Structure 1
Amino acid sequence: MNVMSKAIEPGRPGEGPPSAGQIEAVRKLPDNAKPNFPAVTRRLSSEIYFGEERYRLEQERAFRRLPLAIAPSAMLAPGTYVCRNGYGVPIIVTRDKQGEAHAFLNACRHRGSRLVQDEDAKKAGLFVCPYHAWSYDLAGKLRGVPREEVFEPLDKQALGLVELKSEERGGIIWVKIDKDADDDFSHVSDELISDLDALGVADMYLFAHRRHDVAGNWKLILDTFLEGYHVIRLHANTLGNRFEDTVTQVDRLGSHLRQTSGRPKFTRVLAEERAHSIDLIRRAVTFVYTLVPNCALIVSQDYVNLLVFSPQGPARTLVDNFMLTNRDPADDEKLRDKWQRSLDLTDGQAFPEDFFASAECQVGLSSGAAPDVYLGGLETAMIVYHDLLDEILGQGAAA
C-alpha cells in the first residue's frame, strides 16, 4: 500500500472497473421511475438506545472483540503518527519510515503517562514522554532513558510500547483495542475489501478531518446513514433536492453492509452503459458502506466520507468525519474549492441536521414515550444492521 500514490482522476472512463459485487448490486436496482417499494413493519426495542446493560454488552462483545476502523490510511504519511482517544483506550497509530502502520497503547512504560495528545497527524522521529523524557521510535521501540544509570539494568527490548493487533486493508487501519486480543481479522471480509479497492480508497487523499460531540446514542447516529427515508425530508433545505426516494439494494459483505441506490433519474440502461468504470458508476448510484460495528463510508462522485462513531456512554458519541478525495487537493485549485463547498454542505449543514435528529430521538426514547421504534420499507438496511449486531452480541433479532 502506497498512501502517496496518485489516485485515479474522477470521471475518466476506463480507469478501473467496479467490483463484481458492486456491478451485481447495481443491476438489481429498478429504474427510479418504476420503484416497487417494499411494505414492511419491523420493531426495535427503544431500550437498545439508552440501556446501561445493553451499552456494556456492546462494549464487551463488539468494541473490544472486533477489529475497529481506527483511521483512514490517507491520514498517515511515512514518519507520522496520530493520537486516537475515542474508545476509552489511549491509542497511537503510526506509520514508520518504511511505510508500515502500527498501533500502540499511548502510555509510557515508565509511569504510564500519555506520550502524545494530537488528534491530527504529526511528523515525528521519536515520541518523548513529557513527564520523564523516556523516548520511543515510530515502531514502538524504547530508544532513550535519561539517567539510565540510576536504574538497575533495563531490558529495553521488553520495554517498548505495548503494540495492539492491527491490519491495514482497503485504505483503512483496523485495530483491536484490547491489548490481549487474538490476531483473527477475518471480520475484515474479503468482499468488503474488494469493494474498497475498486473505489481506490487506499490511494485517496485526506482533504479534511472534523470532529463532532453529539448528545445521542451511537446507533441512533449510525441509523441516519442506514436509510434514505429521511433525506428529502430532514435535509429539505440543504441537500434534499439532490436526492429522491429510491429502492435500496442491501447486501451483506461478510459482517459488513453495502447499500446501493440510484441517483436521480437512474435507469438500468444508464447503469449498463457505465458498468465498465467505477468512476462513471459513482455518477449513477450512491454506495454507502456500514463498517460494523460503528462506521459509515459514504461514496460521492469524486470523494468519500468515512464517519467513525465512538461511543462515550449510552447518550454521548464522538463523530469523526474524514473526507477523502480522489486527487491531491494541492494539484487543482478549482477542485479544491469544489470539495470545500461539499465539505461546507455536508459537515457544516447536513451532518449537523442528522446529529440534531439523533439527539432529539435520544430525549424522546429515554423518556419512555416510545417503547418501540418502527421501521418501514425505506429503512430495510436498519433492519439488516440491527439483526447483524444482535448476532454479534448474542441477542435475539428485531421483532
Structure 2
Amino acid sequence: MAAQTMRIAAYNVENLFSRPRAMNRPEPIAVEILRAHARINELFERETYTAEVKAEILQLLGELRLLRDDGGATRTSTFVVLRRIRGRLLRRPRNDPDGSAVTVVADGRADWTGWVELIKDRIDERAISNTARVIDEVGADIVGVVEAEDRLTLARFTDSLLIDDATGQPQYPHVMVIDGNDPRGIDVGVLARAAYPLALMRSHIDDGPHGDRVFSRDCPEYWFTFPAGTALAGERLVVLVNHFKSKFGGNNPASIARRRRQSARAAEIYTEIRAAGVDHVVVLGDFNDTPDSEALAPLLADTDLTDIAAVTPFDDGDPDEERPGTFGNGTKSSKIDYLLLSPSLLSRATGAGIFRKGVWGGVHGTLFPHFDTIEADHEAASDHAALYVDIDLS
C-alpha cells in the first residue's frame, strides 16, 4: 500500500566532495579571485585581442599569479590554473622573475584554445558524512539539492552514503542534475525515492540572450507523478529548484536587479505550469534574499505561492524560537532558503520545519543543537539548514 504522506525538502549542501579553493578564503579575497577568473575567461572568448584586451589579460594573470607559470594545485597559495590545449597564448622570457616581460602573442580566439580553471579542494570527510546524515534524518521523499557538483557526483554520494538498511539499496535511486551556467560547478538538482521516478525534466539554462542568461545556475523543472494508492494517484507534481544570484561581494543594485529578474522568470515558469493544468507545484531553493526584499516580490508577493513558514505546525529548529533564518546563525536577515507551495499543496500540508542539526551555529556552535559528529565548524554539513514540509496524500 502506498504511503499516505510525502515529505519534500530543500537543502543547500554547499558542494559534496570538492569546492573551489577560493570560496574557502575570506570574502574580500574570494570575491577578487572569482571576479578575475570570470573576467579573463570572458576576454579569452574575444574574436580579436586588441592592445587593450591584451593589457587587461596580463593584468588579470598577474592578479591570479599566473604570469610566470600556469599554476599548480599543490601550491596552497594558488587558486587557479591556466589550461592550454592548443596554440600559444603567452611568451614568457627567461630571467624575468616578476613577469614584467611577459607578453600575449595570441591575436584572438582562433590562435589558441584554453581557459583559466578554479582549483578545487576536497571537502572534509566528516562534513561529507554529516551532509548525508542530514538528508537521512530529514527523510524526505523528494529533495531539491542546491550546490551539487554534477549528477555523477550526487549519485556517487547517495549510492555510497544513503543506503536503506532494510534492502541494502540506495534510498534515492532517482538522481538528476543538469549542469547550469555557473563555471564554478555549483548546480541544482533533485533526489527522489523509488516511489517518485522522474517522469520529465526541462531546463531553463538558455533563458535570456547569449552572454546575459537569466539564471546564474538554472531553474530546472522536475516532473513526478503521485503513486497509485493515494488520493492524488496519477496527478502530476512539478518541482522547480533554484539558486539565485548571491550577495557574495556586496548587495549592489546589479545584484538586486539580477535576483529580481530571476524571481520574475521563475514566477512566469510557475504560472505557465499552472495554466497548463498542473495544480501541484513546488518552487524551492536558495533565493539569496529575505522575504521582504524587492528582488523576491515577483515570487513571494505576485503569485499564489506560500512559504512553508505559514504551515501549522511549523518547527523552526531553534529551542528559543528566536532565529527564523536558514543560513549561518539563523538571524532574520539570513532567511534566504525557501520552500514554496501552490494552493493545492498548501491545503494538504500537515507540518513543516527547519532542520538545523547539520549547522555549526555561532563561534562555538552553541546557538542551536547540532549532531554530536560535528565538533568544529569545518565538520558542519553546510552553512544552510534544510527545509521540509509534509503533504497528506489520503
Under a length normalisation based on structure 2, what TM-score does the superposition of the two structures give? 0.29
**Structure number with higher relative contact order (C-alpha < 8 Å, ≥ 6 residues apart):** 1
Greater helix percent: which structure?
Answer: 1
Q: TM (normalized to structure 1)?
A: 0.29
